[in-house]
Structure 1
Amino acid sequence: MNTKILLIGAASLAIAACGDTEGAAPVAKEEPAAKAEMLSAGLYEVSVTADAVASTDGTTPAASMKEGDNASMQVCVGEEGAATLALYREAQDDCTAQRPYVRPGRMQVEMRCDRAGLSGDINARADGTYTEDSFEAEVKTTTYLTGSGDYAMSRTITGRRVGDCPSEG
């Protein structure tokens, strides 16, 4: 009997502790930032860091960067937005998109690239996120060259819009 009274008393205290919330300040909920539909067209300042570069055939890598290298460049982004291959390719490569996937705030592009003086496959995949005027991506490149120099490279690439593209003229 004492146990039942104790349980009923505890339950009553718990309910009373919940009490009336009248007059209490409402808890503000933060709205998540809306994801950008597209990376805006314009001129972007792009920073590239070679996080890792490794030979996959035991010879000197034919990569454009060495591990720890940093580079910067300006890239004009057009209507293709985050799928602009010049944002992610190695500077001297000529690339085509194999499977571009761009959704609000997120992108993924697989590229097949050619480089003057090299024969074989250069494959790269960029995975990243973007806002209306900035982006960040991790790019992994793997080569299968007919000669020596095969490599695997991982780069971090970030960019922000700095203005309009220069006019041709």
Structure 2
Amino acid sequence: MKLDPRLLSALLDALRAEYASGDPNALLRALSLCLDQRCALPEWAAEALLRALAKWHSRRAPTLDEALGFKVATPKRTRAAKRERLQALQVLNAMHRDRLAHPDAPINADTFARIGAECGMSAATAKRRYYAATKDATLMGTTPSARALNATLLGPYIVAEPKVRKRAAR
């Protein structure tokens, strides 16, 4: 879907501000958006990408991740993140089956107890994985088409996590 040029410009301006504030993902989202829209990369993004590529090519940065400004995860953290993603998919799949079996039941502690038992984890872990997965899924993609796809796939299952008041430190 072709975006209105004013909207595209506003999105790229927002991404420039995010990148300037230290978010390296903003550069890649800008690149993805421009490729999706088949438009030229803005000057700020082209320069930043060229600087990163030159840094990597000259071996001043050992990996492209480091050249782009991403923190390189340790092997232990990488394994943990992979496990968490797999658990999140398990929980989303179990939630889908649960919603089909109990369409009118609220999503509450009993729901997470059922999901946790089915997935071999505690109710609290199931709840954390569920809300983390739905949050990530709603934030993925900067293009309206990506957000529409996420809403279509997960829309019925996205529920805002209840706000929990934290106790003040004593």
Q: Is TM-score (shorter-chain normalized) higher than 0.5?
A: no
Q: Which has the higher contact order (CA 8 A, sep 6+)?
A: 1
